[in-house]
Amino acid sequence: MSYLEEIQVKNLDHLGIVAGLIDEIGIVKIINNKLGIDVREKISAGTVVKSILINGLGFVSRPLYLFSQFFQDKAIEKLLRERIKPDYLNDDKIGRVMDELYKYGLNDIFIEVVLEVIKKIKIDLKYSHLDSTSFHLDGEYKREEDKEKQEEEKIIKERPIFIKKGYFRDHRPDLKQCVLDLITSQDGDIPLFVRVGDGNESDKAVFGKVLVEFKKQIKFDSIMVCDSALYGQENLQLIQHLKWITRVPMTIKKAKELVQNIEVEEVKDEDKEKRSDLNLESYTWKEEIVTYGGIKQTWLIVLSEKRQKSDLEKLEKQLSQEEKKSQKFLKEIQSEEFEHPQAARYKLKAINKKLRLLEIKEVELIETYSKKKEKIYKMISLIIKKDEEISRKTKEEGKFILATNLVEENKLEASEILITYKNQQSTERGFRFLKDPLFFTDSFFVGKPERIETMLFLMSLCLLIYNLGQRELRNCLKRVKKAINNQVEKVTLRPTLRWIFQCFQGIHYVILNGVKQIVNLTEERRFILSLLPASCQRYYL
C-alpha cells in the first residue's frame, strides 16, 4: 500500500455544528423512541432524520434523490457516529422513514422536540407570533374531494392535505400550493408549532383554531401575536380565554370612524427620550377602550410618521395617474354618440366605477342629429375631485390600529404593544429561511401530499436547529461582551449563523495511518466553538 493510499480526507466544514445542535436537542433519541429501533436495520430512523437535517442545513440545494451523493465527500462516520456508508441513505430508506413519521403523527413529534428545547434551554415565552405562507408545487396532485369521504377520514385520522390553487403569495397563480402555519417565539424566533394546510385555506378561517390547538398542545402562558387575519367575531369568541395582540382590519366600521375622528396624542418632552431609546420616536398613539365581538379590548390607534409620508406620496401618485386616466375617459365619452340618454348615463356610470379619487360629472346632454339625420345625444362633462374621499384617505394615511384583550389585569403599556407587534416579522424571517433557494425546498418533487407534509415538518426542524444555534451564539457573545467580524469586516454581536457556517468552510477530517485529526481549526474558529454548546465542540475538539 502506498503512502497516499493511507490518507483519507473528508469534509467536516460547519456540519459538526449542525450535528452538535441536533444532539443537544436530542432529536435522534426522540425519533427512535417514537418509531422504535429494528435491530435488522443498518441505520435507525432517528439517524436518517439527523442525516436529512444535516443535508438540509448544508446549503447546497440538493434534492433528495441526490441525497447519498451529499455524503460522499463528508465525514459521515464522524457526523452520524455510526459505521454508516453513504449508500445506506438511499431514497427507499428515506421514503420509508418519512412514511413512518407521517403515520406516527408529525405534530406530536414536533411538539415533543419543542418541549425538549424549552426544557433544556431557557427561552422567553412571554410572546408567540403566528403567521402563514404558501409553497407552490409542480405536478398534478389529483385527489378525489368527496366530502363524505373527507368527514370519514377526519373521524379515523387527520386527513392528508389537498394540494390545490388558492390565494398565492409566491406570485405563481398558475401552480397548485399548500399552506404552512407557523408559530415562533419572540425570543430567538424559535418555531414552537407548525401545521400544514390545504392550498386554498383561508387564514381567517383557521387562525383561531390554530391558536386553540397550540395552547392545548403546549401549556404555557404566552401572549399570542397575529396579523389582522385573526381579527373577526368568530375567532375572537374562539380565543376569548387566550391572551392576544392583533391588528384591526380597516374594513370594520368602528375602526374607520376612529381613524377618521381621533387625533393621536402629542408626545410630551419627558417621553421623547424614552421613545427614542425604544426606537419609537416616529410613532404617536392614543388608547381607546372598545367592545367588539362581545370582548372588551384596548385599541391602540397608531400614527407612523414614516409610513404617513410614504402613504401620502403614494396617494399623490395615484391622484396623478387617475387624472391622466380620467382625461382619456372624458375625451372618449364626449366624442361618443348615443342613441338614448340612458345609454350615455350608463356609460358614464361604468367609467366612474374605474375611478376612486376623481369623478366625471355630467354637465349637459345635448340632443342633435348625426350625418345620417338620425337623432343622437352627446354628453358634455367635466372632471371633479372627490374631496371627501381624498380628505378621508389623507386622514387615514400612516395610521393603523392594534388591539389586545389585556385591558385591566396584566394590562400592557402602549409602547410594549407596539414593539411586540413590530416583532411579528419573527415568523417572516422563518419563511424567508424556508424559501431560500439554497435550502432544500427544491425537494418538492415527491408525489404524495403526505410526503409534502413530512418534508415541511423536516424543514421546520431545520429552522428550529438554525435559529436555536443562532440564538445561543448571540447570547454568548453578549454575555462575554466580545464581538466577531461579519462578512463586511465589521464587528458585531449579532452575526447570522449562515455567516458562521461560511467561516467554517475548509475544515477537514483527516485519517493518516489510522490516526484521526481535525485540520484547519484556527484560533478564531476555536473561539466561535467556545460560544456554542459542548455537543458542537465535540465534533471538532
Per-residue confidence (pLDDT) for residue 143, from 0 to 100: 58
pLDDT digits (tens, 9 = 90+) for 146-201: 444 444 444 334 678 888 887 777 667 778 888 999 999 999 999 999 999 888 88
* Residue 516 maps to a domain: no
pLDDT in tens, 57-109: 987 655 555 566 788 889 988 998 767 888 788 888 888 999 999 999 999 99
What the block records as the C-alpha cell of 471 is 440564538
Between CA 260 and CA 24 the distance in angstroms is 53
* Residue span of the structural domain in which 458 resides: 13-145+153-243+412-477
Lowest-confidence region among 135-144, 229-238, 507-516, 531-540: 135-144
Contact predicate 319/390, CB 8 Å: yes
Are 208 and 276 within one domain?
A: no
- Looking at the structure, tell me whether residues 64 and 213 fall in a common domain: yes
Which of 347, 376, 405 is the last residue before a domain boundary?
405
Q: Which of 405, 437, 453 is the last residue of a domain?
A: 405
Give yes or no: residues 264 and 395 share one domain.
yes
- Which region, left, alpha or beta, applies to residue 363 given φ > 0 means left and ψ of -120 to 50 means alpha? alpha
pLDDT recorded at residue 297: 95
Last residue of a domain, one of 348, 376, 405: 405
Average pLDDT, the chain: 88
**Grid cell locating 354:** 374605474
How far is it, in rounded angstroms, from Cα 145 to Cα 159? 11
Tell me whether residue 519 is in a domain.
no
Q: In terms of domains, do 201 and 271 share one?
A: no
Residue 517 placed within a domain: no
29 and 161 belong to one structural domain: yes
Domain total for the chain?
2
Domain check: are 352 and 419 in the same one? no
Q: Is the pLDDT of residue 113 over 90?
A: yes
Backbone φ, ψ for residue 336 (5° rounding): -85, 145
In a domain, 35, yes or no: yes
Is 3 a domain residue? no
Residues 419 and 386 in one domain: no
Q: Evaluate whether residue 133 is within a structural domain.
A: yes
**81 and 211 share one domain:** yes
CB burial of 425-455 (b: ≥16 within 10 Å; e: otherwise) equals ebbeebbebbeeeebbbebbebebbbbbbbb
The reply to whether 328 and 228 lie within a common domain is no
Residues 201 and 342 in one domain: no
Task: Tell whether 161 is covered by a domain.
Answer: yes
Residues 393 and 431 in one domain: no
Lowest-confidence pick of 174-178, 349-353, 459-463: 174-178
Over range 243-260, report the average pLDDT: 93
Q: Is residue 539 part of a domain?
A: no
264 & 376 share domain: yes
Using a pLDDT cut of 90, give the percent of the chain over it: 65
Burial 345-366 (b: 16+ CB within 10 A, else e): eebbeebbeebebbbbeeeeee
